[in-house]
Chain A
C-alpha cells in the first residue's frame, strides 16, 4: 500500500475507493479519517463542504494483495485465539473474516 495514496479530483471515480489520507477542512480539522471508504453520499457531502480532491489508496499488485489478505487473516486469528471450542465465537470469527476479505482487493 502506498502511504500517501494517489491524488484524485472528487468526482464519481472515487466512489468505492478508500482514503489514503485524512480529509481536513480549512481549519485543519479532520472531516474524514484515512481508511474510510468513500460512498456516493459521502462524496456528495464532501463536495458540499468545499472539498475538491482526495488521496485514495492505489490498487495493489497481486503479491501485495495476497500479503494483505494473509495479514488480515493472521490478525483475526490472533484476536480470536482464545475461542477454543466456543461455537459462537468461532462463527463470529468466520463471519468477520469473510467481511474483511470481501473488502480487500
Chain B
C-alpha cells in the first residue's frame, strides 16, 4: 500500500535522534559567536567523530605540511567552519540505516551526496557565500531518498520501476507513485532534526528553486545538476536534471568561470570521499 506523507513522517520520526554533540554543532550554524574552544570540547566528547574528521583533515587535498593529530590542530589549520561542517557530515553519514532494497545503490547515493556538497561548496566560494553551510546543505539535499529507501523499500522499488518504465527522473516517479517527493520527506526530516532554516529550505526546494528563492537553495539546485553532469555517483538518476534559468542567473557565475569550478570540484571531491569510505 502506498503511504501518505503523514505516514512517512510518522515512520521517520522513529529514526534515532542526532547525538547531543551533533545537535549542538548543528545549532551553531546559527551562532556566529560560537567559540572555537566550545566546538573542540564538543567534538572531543565523540572520539569516533573526531577520528573521522581528522582522517579528512589529513587527506592530501588540504595540502598541509604536517599531520593533524588533534581536533584543536584541525581547527587551527583548516578553520573553524570547515571542521564544523566535516564533523556534521561525518556524523550524519553514519546515522541512517542501510537501504532495505538491493535496487538502491547506497554507495552511489553517498558519492552523489558528497559530490553535490563539494559542488555547492565551490559555487559558494565563487560568489562569496558561506562555503560550509553550502557543503552541508548539498550533502544532505537528498536525505529524504535515503529515509524512503531505508524504511519503505517496497515503495522505492515501485518508484524505481516507474522511473525505468517511463524514462523519468526519480523525483517525477516519486510524485507519480506517492503524490509527494523525496524533497518533502527530506524537509520533514530536517525539521525533526532542527536543521537551520536555510538548509531546511534548500533541501525542500532543490528541485523547485522558484518556490522561495534563496541563495543557498539556488546553490544546491545548481550543484545537484553539476554533480550529475560530472557523473559523480548517482542519486538515482542516469541523466542530468534540468537547470532552472533564474536560479543559474541569480548565482551570477560566468560560463568562462565554469571550467575552473569543475577542476576545483573534482580535486576537492577526492578528499571529501574519505568521509564515506572505510
Contact = CB atoms under 8 A, between A and B. Distances in A.
Contacts of B105: none
A98 B259 contact: yes
A63 B248 CA distance: 39
Nearest to A41: B63
Nearest to A50: B67
A99 B262 contact: yes
A83 B240 contact: yes
Interface string A38-53: 0101101110110000
B273 interface: yes
Interface string A20-59: 0000000001111101110101101110110000000000
Contacts of A46: 60
B231 to A, nearest CB: 6
B239 interface: yes
A91 B80 CA distance: 37
Nearest to A80: B240
A61 interface: no
A32 B228 CA distance: 22
B240 A36 contact: no
Contacts of A32: 59-60, 270
A42 B60 contact: yes
Give the interface size class of chain A: 35 or more
Interface string B158-195: 00000000010000000000000000000000000000
Contact of A95 (B240, B259, B274): B259
B269 to A, nearest CB: 9
Contact of A89 (B59, B67, B240, B267): B240
A42 B268 CA distance: 11
Interface in A49-103: 49, 75-76, 78-83, 86, 88-89, 91-93, 95-96, 98-99, 102
B229 interface: yes
A30 B238 contact: no
B7 interface: no
Contact of A48 (B59, B65, B167, B228): B65
Given A82-B239, A92-B243, 7 more contacts: A41-B60, A42-B63, A45-B62, A45-B64, A78-B238, A79-B229, A89-B243
17 contacts: A29-B55, A30-B274, A36-B267, A37-B267, A42-B61, A42-B63, A45-B60, A45-B65, A49-B60, A49-B67, A78-B238, A82-B167, A88-B243, A92-B240, A95-B255, A95-B259, A99-B258
Interface of B: 55, 58-67, 167, 225-226, 228-231, 238-240, 242-243, 245, 248, 255, 258-259, 262-263, 266-267, 270, 273-274, 277
Interface of A: 29-33, 35-37, 39, 41-42, 44-46, 48-49, 75-76, 78-83, 86, 88-89, 91-93, 95-96, 98-99, 102
